[in-house]
A and B are shown apart, each in its own frame.
Chain A
Amino acid sequence: MTATTPIGVGRPARPASWPAMVGALTAQELRLAARRGENLLAQFVIPVGALIVLSALDVGGSSAGARGVDHALPASIALAVIAAALVSLGIATGYERSYGVLKRLGGSPAGTSVLVAAKTLGVVVVEAIQVVLLVAIAVVLLGWSPGPGANALLVGAGLVLGTVAFAGLGLLLAGTLRAEATLALANLLFVLALALGGIAVPLDRLPPALAAVAGALPPAALVQVLYAGLTGTGDASAALAVLAGWAVGLVVLAAWRFRWD
């Protein structure tokens, strides 16, 4: 090679290792997410606000001895999952698709597997921060403690299935609609989940017909699974089955319909 060889010519560079590429893209995901003020609002401010307000209003408190925070914590965690996996992931991916970012990364050494892994890891990191923050506030400020029969495995299963279901929905929107439509629809679904998904109002306080419909949808199913897991009361098997069904269905649908450009 001579001194006059232009930059960009020579022995082709070798691709980085798979974990290194995932790490690089995950860091970029988190960096860009932190720059979106509306993201921080949906992912942190609103769930924390929901936890405090629902707890203060004693929404979900019952004669059976349940306190407001017993409903408020799983409800706010579910809201946080929806914000991270549906709203933030869906909107960010929709815009990346419209800007051609996905196409560029798909044609880079990273390819689609690294891209999907980085997005997944990005959501997991955000959710971990959300859960720690919400639980810490519930414990320190609201006097919450897990019920005697609390089941961490059930909580974990709920978080995984809920994340998969809402990420599937977010990617389905992002991969099939224009970015602006994804933005509008994801935000609308977030508000509907908050109002009618067993979060702001527990299912048993909704009109029976509405409760039956809401109960078959992922937001309420996620709240029910998390409630059962954190308090150790109630049977979550039906809600878990509903959540699993949505998770599988939405991921299959997203994988089938997703367009990278």
Chain B
Amino acid sequence: MTGAPRDGEAAIVAEGLRKRYGTREVLEGVDLRVLRGELVALLGPNGAGKTTTVEILEGYRRADAGTVRVLGLDPAREGRALRPRIGLMLQGGGVDPRSTPREVLRLHARLFRDPEDPDALLEEAGLAPVAGTRYRRLSGGEQQRLGLALALLGRPELLVLDEPTAGMDPAAKQATRERIAALRAAGTTILLTTHELGDVERLADRVVVLDRGRLIATGSPSELTGGGSPRVRFRLSAPLDAAARSELAAAVAAGSRVADDGAGNRYELAGLASPPDARTVAALAAWCGERGLLIAELRVGAASLEERYLELVGRDAVA
């Protein structure tokens, strides 16, 4: 078993997926390829088509057009053979609130001949102390951990995780990220849909961005962030008016402009003809020094994944 994605061996191949609900076209020819052993994050604003895409891959819905193969099978026609090989972690939990974690895990374990031990999964998920507590009384983080434990009962080849760290405190988030990273390292193929871009930057081999039913970007997190224009962002000890911003831009680089980031004296040097370098920073520092302005923060370089994502889908989109 290897942690490296296996080139050429595709776990998911979707081509030209189209789906329409009434008059609304939610998928307009989406292509998606996930290699075995790869962790791919599917991103997009609400309504982008992520859920519909995943539901077609899971066999819950049929595409109006296009082809889908998951682990070499057609989810719509060969669901019976496919379902035991996929582990699903649903955002809503999918658990009766009167059930306890032990009951739910044992019930789902009985759907397999040789599943993982439910008690071992409870222990590993840190749910042993609440194994007999009704689901509705569990915290959001405990419910999420139960969802992941349920997805792992059948030792799936493909794990589909929907918002795996939503509702978790920072420590639980970190533990879940480590758990997912360990699964990925052990060779499990993982398709992750999330709005937590921190998870994506830390975990994903590749990111696929959907918007309005179309695939608008794909690549590794570093490829995606490298694709954005280099930036100089800074925070000053005092605000700059429009005239001062124009003066600063002219002093630092001809043709550039200083954009107000909208909060807390934060600004961005935009419209640079060439990537920022030491002279750019020196010019900025000199201009500020002459006016007694302290540069409280300075960041030079590529955009974060969140910034790049917002560039791709539009800043008005809800990430």
Contact = CB atoms under 8 A, between A and B. Distances in A.
Contact of B83 (A1, A6, A95, A109): A109
Contacts of A96: 96
Query: Which of B80, B97, B183, B188 has the most chain A CB atoms inside 10 A of its CB?
Result: B80
Interface string B18-33: 0000000000000000
A99 B121 contact: no
B27 to A, nearest CB: 18
Query: Which of A1, A8, A17, A111 has the most chain B CB atoms inside 10 A of its CB?
Result: A8
B108 interface: yes
A109 B112 contact: yes
Given A99-B94, A104-B88, A8 B107 contact: no
A6 B186 contact: yes
B113 A14 contact: yes
A8 B111 contact: no
Nearest to B88: A107
B94 A13 contact: no
A204 interface: no
Nearest to A99: B96
Given A5-B1, A8-B121, A10-B155, A99 B59 contact: no
A260 B80 CA distance: 17
B154 interface: yes
Nearest to B93: A100
A261 B183 contact: no
A173 B30 CA distance: 35
A260 B60 contact: yes
B99 interface: yes
A13 B154 contact: yes
B155 A9 contact: yes
A19 to B, nearest CB: 12
A202 to B, nearest CB: 39
Contact of B116 (A8, A16, A110): A8
Given A5-B186, A8-B183, A32-B98, A13 B93 contact: no
Interface in A1-42: 1, 5-17, 20-21, 24-25, 28, 32, 35
Query: Which of A6, A100, A106 has the most chain B CB atoms inside 10 A of its CB?
Result: A6
A103 interface: yes
Given A16-B112, A24-B111, A100-B94, A6 B88 contact: no
A62 interface: no
A101 B94 CA distance: 4
A20 to B, nearest CB: 7
B109 to A, nearest CB: 9
B46 to A, nearest CB: 17
Contacts of B95: 99-101, 104
Given A5-B186, A7-B152, A9-B1, A15 B94 contact: no
Given A8-B152, A9-B183, A12-B84, A99 B93 contact: yes
Contacts of A261: 60
Interface size class of A (residues with CB under 8 A): 35 or more
Contacts of B183: 6, 8-9
A63 interface: no
A28 B106 CA distance: 11
A20 B187 CA distance: 30
A8 B156 contact: yes
A13 B153 contact: yes
A163 to B, nearest CB: 24
B110 A9 contact: no
B198 interface: no
Contact of B96 (A20, A101, A108, A110): A101
B90 A15 contact: no
A12 B90 contact: no
A11 B155 CA distance: 7
Contacts of B107: 24-25, 28
B124 interface: yes
B120 interface: yes
B71 to A, nearest CB: 10
A99 B120 contact: no
B156 A12 contact: yes
A13 B97 contact: no
Contacts of B108: 108
A111 to B, nearest CB: 6
Nearest to A14: B113
Nearest to A6: B182
Contacts of A7: 116, 120-121, 124, 152
Given A12-B85, A103-B60, A108-B111, 10 more contacts: A7-B124, A8-B156, A8-B183, A13-B155, A21-B110, A95-B96, A99-B95, A101-B95, A107-B60, A109-B111
Interface of B: 1, 58-60, 79-80, 83-88, 90, 92-99, 103, 107-108, 110-116, 120-121, 124, 150-157, 179, 182-183, 186-188
16 contacts: A5-B186, A6-B179, A8-B188, A9-B155, A9-B183, A13-B116, A13-B154, A16-B110, A16-B111, A99-B96, A100-B94, A103-B90, A104-B94, A105-B94, A109-B84, A111-B83
Sorted nearest first, the 7 A-B pairs with minimum C-beta distance are: A8-B152, A104-B94, A100-B94, A24-B110, A13-B112, A100-B92, A13-B154
